[in-house]
Every structure is written in structure tokens, then in C-alpha cells.
Amino acid sequence: MNNMHGIIFSYEKQTGLRELLEHRVHGSIPFATNYRVVDFMLSNMVNAGIRDVGVIMHGKCQSMLDHLGTGKSWDLSRNYGGLTLLPAFAYAERRGSDGRFQGKMEALACVLDYVRRIRQDYVVLADSDVVINLPLQEVLQSHIESGAQMTAVCTDVLGEGNDTYFQMDEKGRITDTTYQVYTPSGYRCLNVFILSKELLVNLVTDCMAHNRYSFRRHVLQQGGLDLHGFVWKGYSAHINTVESYYQRSMELLNPEIRAELFCAERPILAKENESPSTYIDPTGTCVNSLIGDGCDIQGDVKNCILFRGVRVEKGASVEGCILFKGTVVKKGAQLRHVIADKYVTVSENVQLVGSESYPMLLARGSTV
């Protein structure tokens, strides 16, 4: 049995994803035609041999519950262990709160009985909104060799100031943790951590005894722990704004990035579907695009990402767009740099134009 246990946090955050979170949490946002964002971290764990994964949720988690189901698509449907869905709000209500948790430590405290029953020696803590294909076995090996109490996965590619950043010495020890800095420097945290189960239980119980709830502030920045950094040199994407979602999605049109993210050695698994093949009409065009199953393309599609069941009628033109499941673009319509959530209908001869830096976003089920 593998010596790691996975815990994924899926919850509402204060971000700029706007209408994309109206009916879902971060991890269940559709991505790359056939996937949800959580599929990447879940696949990372399965590819590393992890057979027990708990997903801690609160907020609009119905979409996540529907997507994960029993975990069969990831070979996590088991009589003992496997995938465990942990709606932390249900546990929190028993403790007299309003069903929301203030931070990861409080969320872990809500499911402390589950944490104590973990069979493995090591626990991987990860967020559900990171797109990455990470060899977690290598991270575990690095953690063991370092002798540190906790290992944090990070990257030298800087991001926004509201990310967490580490300063490290020449031996890979983390010497400082900063957040919301004006000028980011150092290594950006990817919110993937490995530590022992014993240490995790001790940290949770200590934080609750002192009314501390934030993992970043009360664990990473508090001091007293021997922290080690694992620097990931490959591709990673943090989805936290509409603009970042659009840009990270459009990057997949680059074959090199696509090949790295969807490498054969560590396949990204997704929920099974039974959609028919996509139809492209001889009079239509489809250029440099990613197309999901079950689409009907009779118009012109260029530099787009289309999810399952999208229909582009004759005379319609879409360019630089991301169209979610069931979207219909009727004849004569023209779309440029548009993100359409599920089941959107764009009426005949409508023109919608956004920009690469600020794409237009259409809410789920709307008609324009």
C-alpha cells in the first residue's frame, strides 16, 4: 500500500472569477474541453499510487459532488478507503458555527476524526484550483531525504502579489514566508504540502486550542517548523481570475504546453462520458482549436476551446472563445474573446467582442 494519503481542499475563495463561481466552487470549473480543474490534482495523487483521498468542501459544492461521484473514474471507488467526500459545513454546524470555515486549519478540525483514522504515514495537502501534472512520488522522496517536517511545492515563476512566496537558503530550507507583497520575489507557493500524519494531527489540535484557523498565517508564518521547498520546474497554472482562466486555457493551444500537461507517463483522468463524435460540416472550418465530444460545427471556429455538445450554426463565426457544454451559437452571430458558461444561447446575428486581456463572460443559461 502506498505511504501517502491525499486531502484536497475545495471551497469558496475571494477571487475574481465572478460568474464562473455562481453555480460551483473553484475545483469544478470546466477546463480543457473534457476536464474540471480538480481532475489534475486528483490525477496527480492517483498517478503517485495514492488510493485514499479526502475532499473537504463547503459552499456551492453540488457541482463538485456530481462530478466526483463515487470516484470510479479515478479508480477510487472502494469498499474501504478510496474517495471520501467531506462536506465540512455539515461537521461545522454540529459545532455551532454557520457552516463556513475561516481557514484550512479550521476545516481540518471539522474532520479531525477522519484525519486521525488515516492509515498512511504521510499526508498530501493540496488545493483543487491548481492545474499541474506533478510527480508526487518525487516530492515525497525529496521530503524524506531532506529530513524536514514539511515540504512545500513551489515554482520560481512569479505570479501575483496575493500569492504566498517563500525565501529559501542554498539547502532548500524555507527561511521566510510572505503574502500580499507589493513586489513578489523568491518562490511562489503552489499550495501542495507533504507532512507526516502525526504532525498534521498535532498542528490541527494545537491551532484549535489557541483559536488559530489559517494554515498560511498560523503554520507557515508562525515559525518553529523545519520547512523544505520542492521547486517544480514544469508547467503550473493557478486559476483565480477570469483573465487568468482565459489565458491559461488559451495556452493549451500551444502543442508544447499541452504535451507537458497531458504527458503519457502521468495521464490526467476525467469523468467518463458517452457523447458521440464531433461533426464538422464540409462548409465549416475549424482551425487551431480544442474540441470536445458531441459538438456540431457548421460555422467557422478559430483558436477556440469548445466543450461537449457545443453547436455553431452555419454563418456563425467564433474566434478566441471558450464555450462551455451545451452552448449554441446561432447563424450569423460573431464572437471574439468570449467565455460562455453552460447552456448559453447566442441569438442570430449578435456580435459579442471582448479582448484577450479582458474577455467577455456570459453567465450560465443566459440568452443574448
* Contact between 350 and 368 (Cβ < 8 Å): yes
C-alpha cell at position 283: 462548409
Give the per-residue pLDDT at 345. Answer: 98
Task: Label residues 77-107 b or e (16+ Cβ within 10 Å = b).
Answer: eeeebbbbbbbbbebbeeeeeebebebbbbb
- CB contact at 8 A, 4 and 123: yes
Residue 181 is predicted with a pLDDT of: 81
Q: For the chain, give the secondary structure using H, E and C.
A: CCCEEEEEEECCCCCECHHHHCCCCHHHCEECCCEECHHHHHHHHHHCCCCEEEEEECCCCHHHHHHHCCCHHHCCCCCCCEEEEEEHHHHHHHCCCCCCCCCHHHHHHHCHHHHHCCCCCEEEEEECCEEECCCHHHHHHHHHHHCCCEEEEEECCCCCCCCEEEEECCCCEEEEEEECCCCCCCEEEEEEEEEEHHHHHHHHHHHHHCCCCCHHHHHHCCCCCCEEEEECCCCEEECCEHHHHHHHHHHCCCHHHHHHHCCCCCCCCCCCCCCCCCEECCCCEEECCEECCCCEECCEEECCEECCCCEECCCCEEECCEECCCCEECCCCEEECEEECCCCEECCCCEEECCCCCCEEECCCCEC
Which residue numbers in the chain have pLDDT < 70?
Answer: 1, 12-15, 88-101, 160-161
Cell 451559437 -> residue: 329
How much is the pLDDT for 26? 85
Q: Name the β-bridge partners of 237.
A: 131
pLDDT value, residue 231: 97
Cell numbers given for 344:
448559453
Alpha-carbon Rg for the chain, nearest whole angstrom, is 21
Cα diameter, the chain:
68
pLDDT at 1: 44
Amino acid sitting at position 353: V
Tell me the CA distances in angstroms from 46 to 83, 196, 267, 305, 325, one per residue in order. 11, 19, 10, 27, 26
**pLDDT at residue 272, rounded to an integer:** 85
